[in-house]
């Protein structure tokens, strides 16, 4: 199979916001307890955080981490997680039917963020609570002192404000499964009033309103239009979520599903533009895709289990075991965000540790990187800069999920400061090696730095604590640059990063 692409230096989509490589941690299963926090573990620091996990997160260079939910936040009282640990109440989490010890709250998580080199993206409870709870949490986190909540933070041991800049106004409020589920009008009103109050405190805060939980919701995309009708003037981002499944074990159909993601972004962008025009506004609202990942390996089984269990503490829940096939889908998802850099400014892989996550830990034992850790790592490291438009001429196929699906998926990033161009290329073809030619218009002196490959002959190959390196990146030979063109051979079913000095 042969394919061609053209990348032009001047055909820029937009600057990629670093926060596109963000992550998410919720009080869900073992994400927090025995995930990032495990006092007594051999690697635990003085705060009880696992240093082995912090090291892996730092390698990813995660710019922002969303917390504490997720479904969890919609019935969460943040005040339960502050003050002396011995006096904190044990509570019940209705979202995942588990027992919450509240050992980790806002102060502990903020300390973890500092240790892991990531900024805090906080969600407020607009399910069971509302504006007043959000106002109190905002003052606790961001006010220097001299008020009830800021003085309580100081009393609890943190003198300097956390200065959280990015706030989520609830979570998935369109979902009937959500505690405090609301209609679009009800949610839009409370989001608007909460946003007004928060911006009265600090007009430079960035606020995220809830869009549709996924593109199959019966209220989509009318939900976006109705919510923005109420709060457009006071919010900055609209949140979208999507998880990717392969219950049918249909490889090509699975690899077609990121096309749905692209159309989802395109549709919601159109709704945003419609409301902007309707309101005669000069203000732009961008997309925060703050939950995304592959999620199906244990989803149905766990969904049945947790609804009947008797409030366990930090149980194993949603602990996906990712395979090589998932690498290709995650690579295409990340490529989509790069190509939509003009619209998507924030994205959070869900989640970061143990629950639907690229990192898994053993209680008291080892931590290891799942297969999907690696496309996330490579995109985060080398996918920062300017997103360039790519014209791709490639054979295509039709699938149940989408028609006209390209076999070759390409995203290009120009890092002007570093003097590099990164080409992220997924060859979806199940059988055929592809000869790819990329014309580099405007980059006459380009030379090859490296071609990094993630490939395995078995689509179902996985990493584990005992065999952590079954699927991992490797250097690939066979690519070259001649007269302003990249010539490379792509293995079938492969993820490729081709880095160029320009």
Annotated catalytic sites, by residue?
172, 291
Q: Is the dihedral of CA 435, 438, 444, 447 positive or negative?
A: negative
3-state secondary structure (DSSP) of residue 327? helix
> Three-state SS across 142-183?
HCCCCCHHHHHHHHCCCCCCCCCCEEEECCCCCCCCCCCCCC
The structure tokens listed for 72 are: 């969890």
Pairing of strands 286-294, 344-350: parallel
In sequence order, the β-bridge partners of residue 361 are: 367
How far, in Å, CA of 28 to CA of 21, rounded?
Answer: 21
Compute the distance between CA of residue 386 and CA of residue 412 in angstroms, rounded to an integer.
8
Q: For residue 44, give Cα distances in angstroms to 35, 39, 183, 319.
A: 11, 6, 44, 22
Residue 396's beta-bridge partner residues? 406
Cβ-count burial 101-127 (b if 16+ within 10 Å, e if not): bbbbbbbbbbbbbebbebbbbbbbbbb
Tokens of 278: 């309707």
Q: Are 118 and 63 in contact (CB under 8 A)?
A: yes
Grouping H, G, I as helix, E, B as strand and the rest as coil, residue 225 is helix
CA gap 500, 487 in Å, rounded: 12
In the numeric block, the tokens 């766990």 are attached to 302
Cα R_g (the chain), whole angstroms:
23
Q: Where are the beta strands (DSSP E) in 38-117?
A: 64-67, 91-93, 98-100
């Amino acid at each position: 199979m042969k394919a061609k692409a053209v990348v032009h230096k001047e055909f820029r989509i937009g600057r990629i916001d670093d926060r596109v490589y963000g992550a998410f941690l919720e009080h869900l299963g073992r994400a927090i307890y025995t995930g990032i926090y495990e006092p007594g573990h051999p690697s635990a620091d003085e705060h009880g955080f696992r240093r082995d996990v912090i090291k892996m997160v730092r390698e990813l260079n995660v710019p922002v981490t969303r917390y504490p939910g997720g479904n969890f936040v919609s019935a969460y009282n943040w005040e339960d997680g502050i003050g002396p640990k011995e006096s904190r109440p044990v509570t019940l989490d209705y979202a995942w039917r588990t027992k919450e010890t509240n050992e980790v709250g806002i102060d502990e998580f903020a300390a973890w963020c500092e240790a892991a080199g990531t900024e805090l993206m906080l969600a407020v409870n607009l399910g069971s609570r509302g504006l007043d709870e959000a106002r109190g949490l905002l003052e606790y986190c961001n006010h220097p002192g001299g008020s009830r909540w800021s003085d309580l933070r100081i009393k609890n041991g943190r003198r300097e404000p956390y200065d959280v800049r990015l706030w989520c106004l609830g979570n998935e409020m369109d979902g009937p499964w959500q505690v405090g589920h609301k209609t679009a009008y009800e949610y839009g009103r409370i989001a608007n009033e909460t946003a007004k109050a928060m911006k009265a405190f600090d007009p430079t805060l960035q606020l995220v309103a809830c869009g549709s939980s996924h593109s199959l919701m019966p209220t989509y995309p009318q939900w976006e239009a109705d919510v923005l009708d109420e709060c457009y003037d006071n919010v900055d981002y609209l949140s979208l979520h999507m998880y990717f499944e392969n219950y049918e074990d249909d490889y090509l159909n699975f690899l077609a599903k990121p096309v749905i993601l692209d159309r989802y972004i395109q549709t919601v962008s159109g709704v945003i533009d419609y409301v902007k025009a309707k309101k005669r506004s000069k203000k732009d609202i961008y997309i925060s895709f703050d939950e995304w990942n592959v999620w199906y390996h244990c989803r149905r089984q766990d969904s049945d289990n947790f609804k009947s269990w008797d409030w366990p503490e930090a149980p194993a829940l949603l602990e996906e075991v990712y395979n090589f096939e998932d690498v290709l889908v995650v690579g295409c998802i990340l490529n989509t965000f790069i190509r939509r850099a003009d619209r998507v400014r924030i994205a959070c892989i869900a989640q970061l540790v143990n629950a639907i996550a690229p990192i898994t830990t053993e209680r008291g034992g080892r931590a290891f990187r799942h297969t999907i850790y690696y496309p996330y790592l490579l995109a985060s490291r080398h996918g920062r800069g300017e997103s360039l438009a790519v014209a791709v001429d490639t054979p295509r196929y039709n699938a149940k999920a989408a028609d006209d699906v390209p076999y070759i998926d390409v995203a290009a990033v120009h890092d002007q400061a570093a003097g590099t161009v990164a080409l992220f290329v997924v060859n979806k073809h199940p059988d055929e090696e592809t000869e790819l030619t990329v014309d580099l218009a405007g980059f006459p002196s380009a030379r090859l730095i490296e071609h990094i490959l993630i490939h395995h002959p078995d689509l179902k190959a996985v990493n584990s604590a005992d065999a952590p390196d079954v699927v991992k990146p490797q250097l690939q030979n066979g690519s070259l640059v001649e007269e302003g063109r990249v010539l490379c051979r792509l293995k079938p079913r492969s993820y490729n990063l081709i880095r160029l000095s320009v």
